[in-house]
């Protein structure tokens, strides 16, 4: 996380503790706060623990921040939404190598985007 207010850190710590004790409301609040702060590491931690909402927020944030590596990590894990976001970002930013990698892996959408980009 970048230079955020120490109260943000305190709030995250308190929510994290409640969430670890099974408080679903705290988990949702933690996801919301991490999203608001752009805290990809917190969202990644929650997503890796199996929280679908955190995964969705992480994908959206990674797309907004142009984080190909995070989207690649999630898409390589089989997340269809991450794959779609990765293709969209790679297309927008002309990352032909990424589109080629996905197309070589059998992704028809990436292959179509690559064909369009290389034909231009």
- List per-residue pLDDT tens for the chain, 120 residues long: 444 566 677 877 888 889 888 889 988 999 999 999 899 999 999 999 999 999 999 999 999 999 999 999 999 999 999 999 999 999 999 999 999 999 999 999 999 999 999 887
**Can you spell out the DSSP letters for the chain?**
--S--HHHHHHHHHHHHHHHTT-HHHHHHHHHHHHHHT-HHHHHHHHHTT-HHHHHHHHHHHHHHT-HHHHHHHHHTT-HHHHHHHHHHHHHTT-HHHHHHHHHTT-HHHHHHHHHHHH-
Spatial distance between the Cα atoms of 5 and 28, rounded to a whole number of angstroms: 21
Spatial distance between the Cα atoms of 96 and 83, rounded to a whole number of angstroms: 15
- Short-list 33, 82, 75, CA closest to 56: 82
Give pLDDT, residue 6. 64
Neighbours of 104 (CB within 10 A): 11
pTM: 0.84
Give pLDDT, residue 4. 52
Give pLDDT, residue 67. 95
Give pLDDT, residue 8. 72
Give pLDDT, residue 3. 47
């Amino acid at each position: 996380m970048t230079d955020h207010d120490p109260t943000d850190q305190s709030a995250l710590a308190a929510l994290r503790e409640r969430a670890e004790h099974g408080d679903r409301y705290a988990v949702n609040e933690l996801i919301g706060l991490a999203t608001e702060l752009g805290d990809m590491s917190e969202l990644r931690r929650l997503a890796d623990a199996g929280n679908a909402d955190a995964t969705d927020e992480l994908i959206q944030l990674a797309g907004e921040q142009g984080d190909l590596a995070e989207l690649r990590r999630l898409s390589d894990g089989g997340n269809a939404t991450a794959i779609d976001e990765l293709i969209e970002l790679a297309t927008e930013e002309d990352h032909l190598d990424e589109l080629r990698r996905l197309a070589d892996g059998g992704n028809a959408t990436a292959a179509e985007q690559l064909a369009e980009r290389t034909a231009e």
